[in-house]
Chain A
Amino acid sequence: MNAAQKPWEERSAARVVAPARPRKLAKVPFVELADGRLQGVVSSGSDIERVYVSSLTAANHSFHCSTNNNRPCGGIRTGGCNHLRALADEAVLQYGVARVARYLRADVADDATTGAAVLAAVNAWHEPSAGAPVFSRFLRHLAYLELSPTTEPLPELHWFPAGGAVR
């Protein structure tokens, strides 16, 4: 009688979000699907102190790209810029093309595999918005590695089993 699994809705440890996949972070240290956007940070190729903050809105497919000091990106063309393209490519590595396309409501072909395919499907248009909220999400992200580990038990993490042996 115990062999039957309860439906997903009735399980305490149901998996809701698939874990991210590891990727190289040198060029795009941060990317996320959050706040209704694909958003993240791209390191500048020429200035080690500078990063670009790029985002693409799921609701209307407008995109934004500026430096962390709020200067506009000089490379903006129809359909995006190099930073947005790098961001889309890394998002696909991290989450898989299906999840990125679904989040952005992008109608991609079944055999699409790349960030470029997602961007081609949405026909992004430029609309400057504030980069600061995305940059502050990035700083928050970096702050996790500054927090100290602990050997006190965190019993609530029983709700969050590490997975990945079956995909």
Chain B
Amino acid sequence: MRFDLLASPVDGVTEAYEVVAGFDGVLVAGLLRPGTEQIAALHALAAALSGTPLAGRVAEAVDKTVAGSISDEHLAALVAARSALLGASHDALLARLDEAAGRSREPWPAAGPGTPAGADNLLAAARSWLSELAIAGWRGIDHDLVSHADQAVQALLAEPRLRRLGALLDGFAGELRACAPGATMPRVPVRRWADLWARAVLLAQPGALAAVEPGTVSGRLLPLGVDLHEHPTAVQAQVHAVLETADGPRLVRASVSAPKVDTLVGSGVWQLLRGHSALLAAVTEQRAMDLTDMPITSGGDLIWSDAHAKPGAPAEPFATARVQLATASAAPVPPLERHPVRLAEPVLIEGYTATAHDDGVTITLPGLTVEVDVERMHGAGPLTPALVAASTACVGLLRWDGGWTIQPLAVEAQVKRKTVAVHAGAWAGGAADAAGAKAEAAAADAVKVLRERAGRLLRR
């Protein structure tokens, strides 16, 4: 891997982010009465898109916003403009990463529009709340405005095909609720909330969540590690793995997610997921799984079903990474997912120096110094920043949030003069130690109490 290629900036990304930052600043005070600086930022957005097929729509949307008469359609155009800039940044960053890793990536297949998810009234309700938010601005949110999302979110979560939008809006609304009223917030997460809002507007457009018929794939699946995502009412485990197919090794992901409540955290979350994917047990046992006709999307996501998988032979992730990672081909990223936050490319790094400091751990490689993304390291497994600081090899995800970072999935470290491998997802299939077992039992107890309460109070 040529890490030195990641040390130099990628053309155009800084410029794209400057335009996006201007637009994101407009959302702080809201779109109702943009001031001089905000109007200039909106014009800069239109100018950045002027050579693209979106030019006319974006220019019109900017004019209408400045004139104070913004509609749903104009909001969609502004969001499309912002998303196009960040999508292009994503593509440029990913191309650089692929070059550095020597990784080949399939092109995105031309596909039909898919089957619309329907439920247009639910999407309209979501768009209406998102419009209210944009008009009020982050400084203008209050408890009433935030709670307007409740009904739409509940209905979206109940509709499996709209779960993506529901889970996003629920996490977003939860943050707004915790921070309201906006007028007295000490600091505003400007980029983050603009990101969440903009993605929600995109997904709430009719057709955005259209279902595309997946393909199928067979072969031996060798797990590399688990990336865990969580907000108060949702948890997702995403297993990164190499799939050995007849056409050579491929990088794939397998996800499992569940709705939850905020008091279920840490290692307690695995039990919500375990029953729906035997892969989590395979990760803990360090086994391969043999897949037969497993559904897979064009984006390289397995739609896991235990019916298409059988436990296989022992497989150690570092061995997989050392033997297969350099030659495995990667899947293209679906257009509506292209945003730098989605960059999570599995890599193996060795021969580095790790240095702990007050805010985390820095890794120095030949030609590149990179921060460990300690905020993406979770308490639901045995891997800690201290182990990363003592490590000699690491399987991790390269990420980008204004700069490259590495999120460790597993490390090899010297513990008592012996090299041991420690995996962030080691407890996915079951806790190995007493403290983990206790946390699991406490979470199981919490679920039991809530189910009992639900049984008495919910269905009345």
Q: Does chain B have a CB within 8 A of A140?
A: yes
A144 with B259: in contact, given A12-B192, A162-B378 (CB under 8 Å)? yes
Of the listed stretches A75-83, A114-122, A147-155, name the one at the interface; the rest are far from the partner chain.
A147-155
Indicate whether A154 sits within 8 Å of B192 (C-beta atoms), given known contacts A29-B450, A33-B178, A164-B265. no
Instruction: Add 10 more A-B contacts to A10-B190, A35-B177, A157-B236 (CB < 8 A).
Output: A23-B263, A144-B233, A145-B450, A146-B454, A151-B277, A153-B299, A156-B167, A156-B168, A156-B171, A161-B378
Q: Which A residue's beta carbon lies closest to that of B191?
A: A10
* Assembled-state Cα–Cα distance A4/B188 (Å): 21
CA distance A138 to B171 in the complex (A): 17
B388-403 vs A, Cβ < 8 Å mask (1 yes, 0 no) = 0000000000000111
**11 residue pairs from A and B, CB less than 8 Å apart:** A12-B191, A13-B192, A16-B179, A139-B458, A143-B458, A146-B454, A152-B160, A152-B255, A152-B301, A153-B301, A157-B236
Interface residues in B128-168 (C-beta closer than 8 Å to A): 143, 147, 150, 154, 157-158, 160, 163-164, 167-168
Does the CB pair A159–B196 fall under 8 Å?
Answer: yes
Judging by beta carbons under 8 Å apart, are A10 and B21 in contact? Answer: yes
Q: A1, A2, A11, A141: which contacts B192 (Cβ < 8 A)?
A: A11
B171 touches A25 (CB 8 A): no
Chain B residues packing against A (C-beta within 8 Å)? 6-7, 9, 21, 143, 147, 150, 154, 157-158, 160, 163-164, 167-168, 171, 174-175, 177-181, 187-192, 195-196, 199, 203, 228-236, 238, 253-266, 268-269, 272-273, 275-277, 297, 299, 301-305, 334, 337, 339-342, 344, 359-360, 362, 368-371, 373-380, 383-385, 401-404, 407, 439, 442-443, 445-447, 449-451, 453-454, 456-458
**Nearest Cβ in chain A — how far from B311, in angstroms?**
17
Say yes or no: B254 contacts A22, CB within 8 Å.
no
CB distance A159 to B265 under 8 Å? Answer: no
Would A9 and B188 count as touching, CB distance under 8 A? yes
Q: Is the CB of A14 within 8 A of B191?
A: yes
Which A residues fall within an 8 A CB radius of B?
1-6, 8-17, 19-26, 29, 32-36, 43, 48-49, 51, 68, 94, 138-166
- Residues on B with beta carbons closer than 8 Å to the beta carbon of A16: 175, 178-179, 189, 192
Q: Which residues of A contact B235 (CB under 8 A)?
A: 162
What B residues does A160 contact at CB under 8 A? Answer: 171, 229-231, 234
Closest chain B residue to A41, Cβ basis: B453
Name A2's closest neighbour in chain B (CB-CB): B403
Partner of A6, one of B178, B377, B402, B445: B402
Q: How far is the CA of A11 from the CA of B255 in the complex (A)?
A: 25
**A25 to B359, alpha carbons, bound, how many Å?**
34
Q: How far is the CA of A154 from the CA of B299 in the complex (A)?
A: 12
Bound-state CA distance A22–B457 (Å) is: 23
User: Smallest distance from the beta carbon of A6 to chain B beta carbons, Å?
Assistant: 3
The chain B residue with its CB closest to the CB of A167 is: B379
> Are B255 and A159 in touch, CB under 8 angstroms?
no
Residue of B nearest to A155 (CB): B337
**What's the Cα separation between A23 and B442 when bound, in Å?**
8
Check B259–A158 contact: CB distance below 8 A: no
**Contact in complex: B263, A161 (CB < 8 Å):** no
**Is B402's CB under 8 angstroms from A11's CB?**
yes
Contact B192 A157 (CB under 8 A): no
CB < 8 Å neighbour of A20 from B175, B265, B342: B265
CB contacts (< 8 Å) of B268 on chain A: these are 22
List the A side residues contacting B304 at CB < 8 Å. 151
Question: How far apart sit A165 and B383, CA to CA, in the bound complex (Å)?
Answer: 8
A15 touches B276 (CB 8 A): no
Known: A20-B262, A154-B257. A2 touches B370 (CB 8 A): yes
Assuming the contacts A4-B403, A9-B188, A160-B230, asked whether A149 and B341 have C-beta atoms less than 8 A apart, the reply is no
B231 in contact with A25 (CB, 8 Å): no
Bound-state CA distance A17–B453 (Å) is 27
The listed residue (A2, A148, A158) touching B229 by CB distance below 8 A is: A158
Contact A164–B362 (Cβ < 8 Å): no
A151 contacts B341, CB within 8 Å? no
Q: Are B442 and A22 in contact (CB under 8 A)?
A: yes
Task: With CB as the reference atom, state the residue of chain B lying closest to A10.
Answer: B191
In order of increasing CB-CB distance, the 8 nearest A-B pairs are A6-B402, A164-B379, A157-B229, A165-B377, A149-B258, A162-B378, A162-B230, A151-B304
Query: Using Cβ atoms and an 8 Å threshold, which residues of chain B touch A145?
Result: 259-261, 447, 450-451, 454
Cβ contacts under 8 Å, A51 to chain B: 453, 457
A163 to B381, CA, bound (A): 11
Partner of B261, one of A49, A144, A152, A153: A144
Interface centre among A25, A35, A43, A68 (most CB of B within 10 A): A25
Contact B457 A68 (CB under 8 A): yes
A39 to B276, CA, bound (A): 34
Cβ contact of A17, chosen from B154, B174, B297, cutoff 8 A: B174
Chain B positions within 8 Å of A94 at CB level: 262-263
Residues of the A chain whose Cβ atoms lie less than 8 Å from the Cβ of B368: 2
CA–CA, A17 and B203, complex, Å? 24
